[in-house]
Amino acid sequence: MINRSYQWYLYLYLSLFSIVEAVGILLGQSVFTVRMNLYFAPILSIVLLTILFITYPRPHEKDLVTNRQTKAVILLALLWSVIILFVEFNVYHNGIFGLTIKEPNMYYSMIKALKVIFLLILVKEINNRMDIAVLISEIAVIFAFSMITLLLLLKHHYYSLFSTFYILLDVYAIYMSFQIILRYRMRLSKGVNILLASSMIICLILNVMQFKLPLQYLSWLYLYGFDIYNRSASIILVAVLFMILKPRLQIESTEEHEQPYMLATIIKQLFPLFWLFACIYYGWQLQFDPLTGWALFFCCLLVFIRQILVSIQDNQYLVRFFHLNHDFDGLLEERAEELLINEQRYQSLFVQLDEPLIILDNHGHILSCNPAYTQFLTMYYRLNEQNPLPFIRDEDYDVWVERFLRALEKEKQEFDFEALDKDGQTLHLHMKIVPYLFRNEVLGVYLLINDQTSHVLNQERIHELAFYDQLTHLPNRVMFYQEVESRLEVCPYAAVFFLDINRFKSINDTFGHEVGDFVLCEFSKRVHHIIGGNGMVCRQSGDEFIIFLPSMDHCAAEAVAIEIAEAIQVPMEYMSFRIRTGVSIGICMYPEEGRTLAQLIGNADKAMYAAKQEGLTCFKFFNPELRQVLERDLLIEQGLRLCIENQELFVYYQPKVHVAEHKLYGVEALLRWKHPQLGFVSPAAFIPIAEEAGMIHALGDWVLESVCQQLRRWDEEGIEVGTASMNVSLKQLEHMDYKDRVLSTLERYSIHPSRLELEITESIAMCDQEHILHTLNELHEQGLKLSMDDFGTGYASLSYITLYPLNTIKIDRTFVEATTVSDQIKLIDMIISMTHQLGLEVIAEGVETVEQMEYLQARQCVLMQGYLFSKPLPANEFIIWLHQYEAQGQQATANP
Tell me, letter by letter, the H, E, C secondary structure of 294-305: HHHHHHHHHHHH
- Nearest alpha carbon to residue 447 among 540, 368, 502: 368
State the CB neighbour count (10 A cutoff) for residue 76.
14
Same domain, 615 and 653: no
Report yes or no on 255 lying in a domain: no
pLDDT recorded at residue 215: 41
> What is the rounded distance in angstroms from the CA atom of residue 785 to the CA atom of residue 670?
17
CATH number for the domain including 417?
Answer: 3.30.450.20
Q: Are 652 and 668 in contact (CB under 8 A)?
A: no
Tell me the one-letter amino acid at 238.
Answer: V
- Residues spanned by the domain of 159: 4-245
N- to C-terminal Cα distance for the chain? 152
Q: Tell me if 494 sits within 8 A of 587, measured CB to CB.
A: no
Alpha-carbon distance of 45 to 840, in angstroms, equals 147
517-543: burial string, b at 16+ Cβ within 10 Å, e else: ebbbbbbbebbbebbeeebbbbbbeeb
Specify the CATH number for the domain of residue 674. Answer: 3.20.20.450
Instruction: Mention every residue, 6+ apart, whose C-beta is less than 8 A from residue 543.
Output: 500, 501, 504, 505, 520
Query: What element of type H or E holds 791?
Result: strand 785-791
CB 646 within 8 A of CB 870: no
Q: Within this chain, do residues 393 and 473 fall inside the same structural domain, yes or no? A: no
Q: Distance between CA 846 and CA 862 in Å, rounded? A: 14
Q: What span, in angstroms and rounded, lies between the C-alpha atoms of 606 and 670?
A: 27
**Which of 456, 481, 504 lies at the terminal end of a domain, its last residue?**
456
Are 537 and 655 contained in the same domain? no
How many CA atoms are closer than 13 Å to the CA of 89, on its beta-carbon side?
8
Contact 535, 550 (CB under 8 A): yes
- Answer with the one of 592, 622, 652 that is the final residue of a domain: 622
Q: Which of 598, 622, 646 is the last residue of a domain?
A: 622
Q: What share of the chain is helix, strand, coil (3-state, %, to 5)?
A: 60, 15, 25
Residue 256 maps to a domain: no
127-to-70, 138, 198, 624 alpha-carbon distances in Å: 12, 18, 21, 102
Helix axes 738-748, 696-717, angle to 10 degrees: 20
Residue 342 is assigned to a structural domain of this protein: no
Radius of gyration, alpha carbons of the chain: 63
Distances 96 to 296, 454, 738 between C-alpha atoms, Å: 40, 104, 147
CA atoms within 13 A on the CB side of 273: 5
| Assigned domain for 578 exists | yes
List the beta bridge partners of residue 417: 429
> What pLDDT score was predicted for residue 672?
93
SS (H, E, C) 195-219: HHHHHHHHHHHHHHHHHCCCHHHHH
Please answer whether residues 442 and 408 qualify as being in contact, where contact means their C-beta atoms are separated by less than 8 angstroms. yes
Nearest CA-CA partner of 649 in 658, 664, 639 = 639
861 and 888 in contact (C-beta within 8 Å)?
A: no
Q: Which residues of the chain have pLDDT under 70?
A: 1-42, 44-46, 48-49, 51-53, 55-328, 382-388, 613, 615-616, 630, 763-769, 792-800, 819-824, 892-896
Q: Which residues have C-beta within 8 Å of that of residue 394, sequence separation ≥ 6?
A: none
Query: What residues contact residue 480 under an 8 Å CB cut-off, 6+ apart?
Result: 536, 538, 546, 548
pLDDT of residue 392: 79
Q: What is the DSSP string of 827-877?
A: HHHHHHHHHHHTT-EEEEE---SHHHHHHHHHTT--EEESTTT---B-HHH
- Tell me if 179 is assigned to some domain: yes
* Cβ neighbour number for residue 113 with a 10 Å cutoff: 17
- Same domain for 743 and 800, yes or no, is yes
Q: Are residues 640 and 616 part of one domain? A: no
Residue 145 is assigned to a structural domain of this protein = yes
Q: How far, in Å, CA of 531 to CA of 829, rounded?
A: 50
Is 745 found in the same domain as 691? yes
Co-location of 424 and 536 in the same domain? no
Note whether 146 and 233 are within 8 A (CB).
no
Residue 199 CA to residue 185 CA, distance in Å, equals: 15
Task: Note whether 201 and 229 are same-domain residues.
Answer: yes
Q: What is the pLDDT of residue 825?
A: 76
Same-domain status, 640 and 753:
yes
In a domain? residue 262:
no
The CA distances from residue 802 to 111, 728, 792, 806, in Å, are 144, 20, 15, 8
Query: Number of C-alpha atoms within 13 angstroms, CB side, residue 870?
Result: 23
Whether 287 is covered by a domain: the verdict is no
User: What's the rounded Cα separation, in Å, for the pair 476 and 486?
Assistant: 16
- Residue 532: predicted pLDDT: 84
Q: Same domain, yes or no, for 448 and 488?
A: no
DSSP state of 101: B
What is d(CA 430, CA 454) in angstroms, rounded to the nearest whole number?
A: 12
Please tell me the distance from the alpha carbon of residue 281 to that of residue 300, in angstroms, as a whole number. Answer: 12
Residues 617, 537 within the same domain: yes
* 510 lies in the same domain as 564: yes
Under DSSP, is residue 819 helix (H, G, I), strand (E, B) or coil?
coil
Distant-in-sequence, close-in-space partners of 527: CB < 8 Å, separation ≥ 6? 499, 537, 545, 547, 564, 567, 568
| pLDDT attached to residue 383 | 56
Burial 127-150 (b: 16+ CB within 10 A, else e): eeebeeeeeeeebeebeebbeebb
- pTM comes to 0.44
The angle formed by the CA atoms of residues 128, 130 and 133, to the nearest 5 degrees, is 145
Strand partners, 550: 494
pLDDT at 81: 63
Number of domains observed in the structure of the chain = 4
Please tell me whether residue 390 adopts helix, strand or coil conformation.
coil
Which residues partner with 883 through β-bridges?
none
Distance CA 224, CA 102 (A): 11
CATH of the domain at 536: 3.30.70.270
DSSP secondary structure string for all residues of 742-785? HHHHHHHTT--GGGEEEEEEGGGGGS-HHHHHHHHHHHHHTT-E
CB 750 within 8 A of CB 771: no
